[in-house]
Amino acid sequence: MTGQPPVIAATPDHDLLSDLLQGVRLNGSVFLNGRFSEPFAVISPARWEGDHPLAHLRHASVFHFVAAGRCAMEMPDGQKVELAAGDLVLLPFTPEHRFWNGAHDGFVAADDLVRTSPVPGVHVVDFGGGGAETRLICGFLESSELMPAPLFRTLPPVLVEKTAGDAVSGTLAAGAAALVQTLDQAPQPGAPALLGRLMELLFLEVLRRHAARLPAGQMGVLAASRDPILSRALAALHQDAARRWSVETLAKVASTSRSVLAERFSCVLGKAPMDYLAGWRMQIACDLLRATRKPLPDIADAVGYDSAAAFSRAFSRIMGVSPGAWRTSV
């Protein structure tokens, strides 16, 4: 069998997308409350450095919400997007990008425009020529990218979603409007945390919609979540990572043959089933190292290794650092 296996129409019983989202450990926060008046032109700097030593483990995506008005946005590759009130924008790896509206005299660096506000951690910008106003609320979505097939690395450079059209979008738009009012008022207890949770919800909605629209033939964990065979296999691995899995036992759980299972893993996830399992075990191990003081033998047992030594070797090979070094770095 060669090429992309056909997609079988079926709905998985397990919510694989929730598993994947729990794995990235999102932490949302709002960092900018922007008022821009036409004409304006602003450069938003890159926020993620791919050559950083730990870039494969952590990064921050940027979220923009257009609370009012409109503007254009341009990516480094020249892709232009027209944005209007209610649009949500996700930049998974946050390269330098540009916003503008109207005939302007040149771009200004956003970092040169920011000033502090009454809301801790949230800066404000008030910039432009005095014409029609555009409101931009910007936030970070920080994550620990420990996934064996990471979510963010399979997303396009920019995702844009409209909030109009259904009940969920209407609720999000109302929440975003409340967010803007909160930012404009005196700080309230817990406001920054509340704003961060809203940004996480906005991301989940964007990701859910993106996954639902993926065409056949795509790669990555979101595509796998829509494949009945892969979704059954991944759900089983996620729910019982410590089990002594083999390709044969996993194929039985997924109701398919070993060859079909291996082919689907290769075509959609780009790796073998047991390689995916090893990565998922490291995800669990990293969470245990970060959130508990359990000794290495207990963590090794929890993720299916016979000894702390075997676990340490596997962890160092996959993560690039030892379990001890990881624990002290987080």
Tokens of 62: 């940027």
Q: Write the CB contacts of 216 (distance below 8 Å, at least 6 apart in sequence).
A: 4, 6, 7
112: left (phi over 0), alpha (psi -120 to 50) or beta: alpha
Question: pLDDT of the chain along its 330 residues, tens only?
Answer: 444 443 333 334 557 777 776 666 677 888 888 999 999 999 998 865 544 444 444 557 888 989 889 999 999 999 999 999 888 898 888 889 999 999 998 999 998 999 988 777 788 999 999 999 999 988 888 776 555 446 777 788 898 888 766 677 777 777 777 777 777 776 677 777 777 787 787 777 778 888 888 887 788 888 888 888 998 999 999 989 999 999 999 999 999 999 999 999 999 999 999 999 998 899 889 889 988 999 999 999 999 999 999 999 999 998 888 999 988 876
* CA dist., res. 9 & res. 15, Å (int): 16
Angle at 121 between CA 120 and CA 122, to 5 degrees: 95
- The CATH architecture of the domain made up of 227-329 is Orthogonal Bundle (1.10)
Strands 123-128 and 70-74: unpaired
What pLDDT score was predicted for residue 58?
A: 55
Please, what CATH class does the domain formed by 16-213 belong to? mainly beta
DSSP 212-256: HHPPTT--SHHHHHT-HHHHHHHHHHHHTTTS---HHHHHHHTTS
Task: Sketch the domain layout of the chain as residue ranges.
Answer: 16-213, 227-329
What pLDDT score was predicted for residue 144?
A: 63
Strands 40-44 and 108-109: parallel
This prediction has a pTM of 0.76
Query: Would you say 277 and 245 are in contact if contact means Cβ atoms under 8 Å apart?
Result: yes
Give the H or E element holding residue 178.
helix 167-184
